[in-house]
C-alpha cells in the first residue's frame, strides 16, 4: 500500500518554508525602514526642471554698450534650468543654469535667501550659474551705467527681474519634487574655438598662422542616467564668451545652440550649460548666426563624444564649501578726475563719472571692498570650483596645476560684479584689468593683492572638504 502524505495547511510549514518566510519578512521590514530613512538609502537621486525665461515684453539686451534700442525678436527661447542632487546621506545640492549675462549680488542673495527659507538650502548647497550670453535681458542693478535707456525702460527691467526670481525658485522646487534614483558620471572633453582676446587681435586673425595663449580648451561633462540606464540630464561647460552675436534678437548664443543640439540628439534629456573662466576668451571669428550655430554644434559634438566614451562613475557623496571674502579696491578717483572724465567722454564713461561725482557731493562713501563668493563642490571624486565674476582663464590653469586636470572650473557663479584679473592682467591693465571696472559701476580697480587673496581662500576651502593638492 502506498503511503499518502498529508497536504500541508497554511499553519503547517516545513523548516525550509519557514526560513523563506522569515527572510521575506526581514526584507519587507528593511524596505519600509529604507523608505522612511533617507540616510540608509544608497546611491544618488536627481531631479531636473526647466522653463522659458524669454521676456514677454520688449526690453533691452545686456552686454553691449553699443546697442540703441530694445530687443525686437528671438532666434530661440532663453531658458532657466535646475538640477537637484541628493547623495546617499540625504545631503542635497542644487545647480541653476540660465541664459542671462549674470546674476547681480542683490538678485542672487534674494534668490538664495528664499531657497533657504523654503527648502532649507544653504549658500554652500546652491550654485546660480549664468551663461553670460550677450543676447539675453538686462536685469536690475547690473551694469546699468552702460545702457542709455529712460526711466520707463527701467520699470520693465524691474518687473522682469522680480518675475525671473520667482521662476528660478519655482524651478528649484519642481526639481526637488522630481528626485529619483540615478547614477552620475564625469569626464573632460575638448574643443578649440575659444581664442585669447588679449593676445590675438580679432581684425588680424585671418593673417595669423598661430594663436597665442593662455587657453584652456576643456569641456567638462557630467552625465546623469536613471535606474534603467537611460540618459536623463547632461551638464556641460566651456570657457568662452557667448559674444558671437550682437543682433537685437534673444538667444543663448553658441551655448544656447549647443543645448538645443544636444536635446535634439537625445529627446527628453535636459542639457544644462555652465560658463567657465571665460573672462579673456572670445569665439573668433564671430558676428553671424551661422557661426553661432556652428560653434554650438562643435561644442555639442565634443559633449557627445564624451558621452560615448567611458566616464568616471561618481560615488554618491556630496561635500560642499562656500565662502565670501572682502576684496580690497584701489583708491577711488578724485572729484577733479571725475570732472575731467565727464568733460572728455560720452556714453557710459560720462554716465559713470556723473553718477560717481553726484554720490561724492551727497556724501556717499565709495566702496573700499567688495564681498566676493567662492565655492567648491565634490560630487564623489569630481571637484567643481566656482568663482564669482568674469574669471580669466589663468585661474583655471593655476587651479588645475594645484588640484589636478580633472577638476571643473566655473566662473560667473552666484554674483557677476566685474572682471577677476590674474596678477599679470591686473598689472598690465587694459579692459579686463582696469577699464571694465567702470563698465560694472565700481569706483576703482582691484587692489594688487586681490589674486593672492582669491588663491588663498580657494586653498582653504579645498582643505575644508578634503580636496588634495598636487603641490
Provide the pLDDT for residue 360.
87
Q: What is the mean pLDDT of residues 45-50?
A: 98
Q: How far is CA 72 from the centre of its chain?
A: 27
Q: What is the predicted pLDDT for the residue at 8?
A: 42
Q: What is the maximum alpha-carbon separation in the chain?
A: 123
Judged on CB neighbours under 10 Å (0-12, 13-18, 19+), 464 is middle
Kindly state the average pLDDT of the residues 74-83: 98
DSSP-derived pairing of the beta strands 180-190 and 44-52: antiparallel
Percentage of the chain modeled with pLDDT above 90: 76
Instruction: Using the predicted structure, report yes or no on whether residue 270 has a pLDDT greater than 80.
Output: yes
Return the HEC string of 274-307: EECCCCCEEECCCCCHHHHHHHHHHHHHHHHHHH
Block residue for cell numbers 519587507: 28
Instruction: Give the Cα separation of 446 and 370 in Å (integer).
Output: 9
Rounded to an integer, the average pLDDT of 248-262 is 98
Number of helical H runs and strand E runs in the chain: 12, 19
Nearest to 198 by CA among 280, 117, 121, 266: 280
pLDDT at 26 over 60: no
CA distance 314 to 235: 14
pLDDT of residue 33: 40
Helices (H), 309-346: 335-344
Mean pLDDT lowest for which of 83-87, 166-170, 466-470?
466-470
- The span from the CA of 169 to the CA of 118, in Å, is 9
The whole-model pTM stands at 0.89
Q: Does residue 365 or residue 182 have the better pLDDT? A: 182
Which range, of 7-16, 95-104, 305-314, 419-428, averages the lowest pLDDT?
A: 7-16
Nearest Cα residue to 441 out of 141, 151, 140, 59 = 141
- How sure is the predictor about 1, in pLDDT bands with cuts at 50, 70 and 90? very low
pLDDT digits (tens, 9 = 90+) for 350-399: 888 999 999 888 888 899 999 999 999 999 999 999 999 999 999 999 99
Indicate the range of 25-39, 268-282, 314-328, 433-447 predicted with least confidence: 25-39
Amino acid at each position: 500500500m502506498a503511503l499518502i502524505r498529508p497536504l500541508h495547511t497554511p499553519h503547517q510549514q516545513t523548516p525550509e518554508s519557514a526560513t523563506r518566510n522569515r527572510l521575506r519578512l526581514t526584507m519587507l521590514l528593511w524596505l519600509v525602514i529604507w523608505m522612511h530613512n533617507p540616510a540608509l538609502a544608497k546611491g544618488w537621486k536627481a531631479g531636473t526642471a526647466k522653463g522659458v525665461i524669454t521676456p514677454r515684453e520688449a526690453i533691452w539686451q545686456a552686454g553691449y554698450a553699443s546697442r540703441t534700442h530694445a530687443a525686437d525678436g528671438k532666434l530661440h527661447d532663453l531658458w532657466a534650468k535646475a538640477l537637484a542632487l541628493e547623495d546617499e546621506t540625504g545631503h542635497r545640492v542644487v545647480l541653476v543654469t540660465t541664459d542671462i549675462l549674470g546674476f547681480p549680488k542683490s538678485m542672487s542673495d534674494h534668490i538664495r535667501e528664499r531657497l533657504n527659507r523654503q527648502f532649507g538650502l544653504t549658500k554652500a548647497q546652491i550654485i546660480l550659474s549664468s551663461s553670460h550670453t550677450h543676447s539675453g535681458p538686462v536685469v536690475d542693478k547690473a551694469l546699468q551705467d552702460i545702457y542709455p535707456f529712460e526711466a520707463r525702460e527701467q520699470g520693465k527691467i524691474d518687473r522682469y527681474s522680480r518675475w525671473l526670481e520667482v521662476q528660478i525658485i519655482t524651478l528649484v522646487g519642481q526639481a526637488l519634487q522630481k528626485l529619483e534614483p540615478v547614477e552620475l558620471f564625469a569626464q573632460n572633453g575638448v574643443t578649440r574655438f575659444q581664442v585669447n582676446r588679449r593676445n590675438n587681435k580679432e581684425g588680424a586673425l585671418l593673417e595669423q598662422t598661430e594663436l597665442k595663449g593662455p587657453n584652456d580648451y576643456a569641456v567638462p561633462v557630467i552625465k546623469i542616467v536613471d535606474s534603467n540606464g537611460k540618459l536623463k540630464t547632461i551638464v556641460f561647460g566651456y570657457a568662452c564668451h557667448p559674444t558671437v552675436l550682437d543682433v537685437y534678437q534673444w538667444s543663448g548664443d553658441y551655448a544656447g545652440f549647443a543645448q538645443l543640439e544636444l536635446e535634439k540628439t537625445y529627446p527628453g534629456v535636459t542639457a544644462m550649460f555652465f560658463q567657465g573662466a571665460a573672462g579673456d576668451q572670445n569665439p573668433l571669428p564671430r558676428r553671424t548666426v551661422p557661426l553661432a550655430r556652428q560653434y554650438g554644434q562643435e561644442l555639442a559634438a565634443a559633449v557627445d563624444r564624451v558621452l560615448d566614451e567611458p566616464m568616471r562613475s561618481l560615488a554618491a557623496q556630496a561635500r560642499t564649501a562656500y565662502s565670501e571674502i572682502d576684496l580690497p579696491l584701489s583708491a577711488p578717483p578724485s572729484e577733479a578726475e571725475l570732472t575731467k572724465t565727464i568733460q572728455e567722454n560720452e556714453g557710459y564713461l560720462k554716465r559713470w563719472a556723473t553718477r560717481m561725482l553726484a554720490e561724492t557731493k551727497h556724501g556717499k562713501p565709495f566702496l573700499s571692498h567688495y564681498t566676493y563668493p567662492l565655492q567648491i563642490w565634490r560630487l564623489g571624486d569630481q571637484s567643481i570650483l566656482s568663482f564669482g565674476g568674469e574669471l580669466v582663464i589663468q585661474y583655471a590653469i593655476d587651479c588645475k596645476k594645484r588640484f589636478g586636470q580633472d577638476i571643473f572650473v566655473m566662473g560667473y557663479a552666484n554674483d557677476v560684479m566685474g572682471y577677476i584679473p590674474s596678477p599679470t592682467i591686473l598689472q598690465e591693465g587694459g579692459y579686463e584689468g582696469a577699464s571694465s571696472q567702470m563698465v560694472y559701476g565700481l569706483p576703482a580697480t582691484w587692489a594688487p593683492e586681490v589674486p593672492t587673496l582669491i588663491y588663498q581662500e580657494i586653498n582653504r576651502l579645498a582643505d575644508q572638504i578634503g580636496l588634495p593638492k598636487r603641490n
